A and B are shown apart, each in its own frame.
Chain A
Amino acid sequence: MSVVPISYYLVLSGVLFGLGVIAFVYKRNVITIFMSIELMLNAVNLAFVTFARAHNQVDGLVFVFFVIVVAAAEAAVGLAVVIMLSQNRQSLSIERINHLKL
């Protein structure tokens, strides 16, 4: 059984994180921006699991567990905010949501 190098997993994780950053700055829809945050969290989770395997410790897996729990809570609150925003503004475009801008 051959061996997949650790660095391959790390490169995949880094590439996914970078794609998440690109999606974050490029997308104009609030929901899609949320989804790119989830993509970045997933990329970091992959790095955690890889290091947990590499060092043969389960602490990384515990961290992934907590990241998933926090992501679930964040998605629930964030999507409630998105619903409220769309009720107030009749739009999901990030350019129409500029209350906090001076």
Chain B
Amino acid sequence: MSVPFLLFFVCGVLAVTGALLLIWAKEPIHSALSLVLVMVSLAVLYLLLGAPFIAAIQIIVYAGAIMVLFVFVIMLLNAGAEEHTDFSRLAKYIGLPLGVILIFWAAYWLLRSPAGGGGVTGGLIAGPDSTQRLSKQLFQQFLFPFEATSILILIAILGALVLARKQE
């Protein structure tokens, strides 16, 4: 049992635990904090896969910006424990078993699929060219989509402003 193997299992178990806690928790704030756990352990896995830049933006944008936004809205709206009414029995008796079947089917299929062949050497420090290659690709081949995302974010800001302002 070497370090990358151990790290993979610890982070994988933490991620699955966080996802289960998200389902288990009654209070939205507990769900949000367990989702942060999932995101941080996924960031460690990205480091293990040799993508330090993705790991950094996972922490900064996902665990930082997006989850802070979620926690902020939960606090702002004072969201309490969710109520389960009779209507959600449909989801309970059909949705949950189907979801469990989906998990096991996907796990079985992915374990067997030819795409899963081969191994990944878990080097915590990726080669120095990983981020360099990513940025070259991003600013040369994907330059137009990259510029389009700035317009997307501008539109998102405007939409959030329009939606969340005080209704006259």
Contacts and interface: CB of A to CB of B under 8 A. Distances in A.
Contact of B73 (A4, A13, A52, A83): A83
Given A2-B2, A29-B82, A51-B115, 10 more contacts: A2-B1, A10-B113, A12-B45, A28-B82, A45-B42, A53-B51, A65-B57, A66-B142, A72-B65, A93-B82
B23 A23 contact: yes
Task: Report which residue of B45, B106, B122 has the largest number of chain A beta carbons within 10 angstroms of its beta carbon.
Answer: B106
Task: Report which residue of A51, A66, A76 has the largest number of chain B beta carbons within 10 angstroms of its beta carbon.
Answer: A76
A21 B99 contact: yes
Nearest to A2: B2
Q: How many of chain A's residues touch chain B, expressed as a range? A: 35 or more
B32 to A, nearest CB: 6
Contact of B96 (A26, A51, A66, A79): A26
A57 B28 CA distance: 38
A73 interface: yes
A15 B106 contact: yes
B163 A81 contact: yes
Contact of B23 (A8, A22, A52, A82): A22
A36 B99 CA distance: 13
Contact of B110 (A14, A31, A35, A38): A14
Interface in A26-70: 26-29, 31-32, 34-36, 38-39, 42, 45-46, 49-54, 58-59, 61-62, 64-66, 68-70
Contacts of A84: 163-164, 167
A6 B16 contact: no
Interface of B: 1-5, 8, 12, 15-16, 19-20, 22-23, 28, 31-32, 35, 38-39, 42, 45-46, 48-51, 53-54, 57-58, 61-62, 65-66, 69-70, 73-74, 76-77, 79, 82-85, 87-88, 91-92, 95-96, 99-100, 102-103, 106-107, 109-111, 113, 115-123, 130, 133-134, 137-138, 142, 145, 149, 152-153, 155-157, 159-161, 163-164, 167
Contacts of B51: 49, 52-53, 61, 64
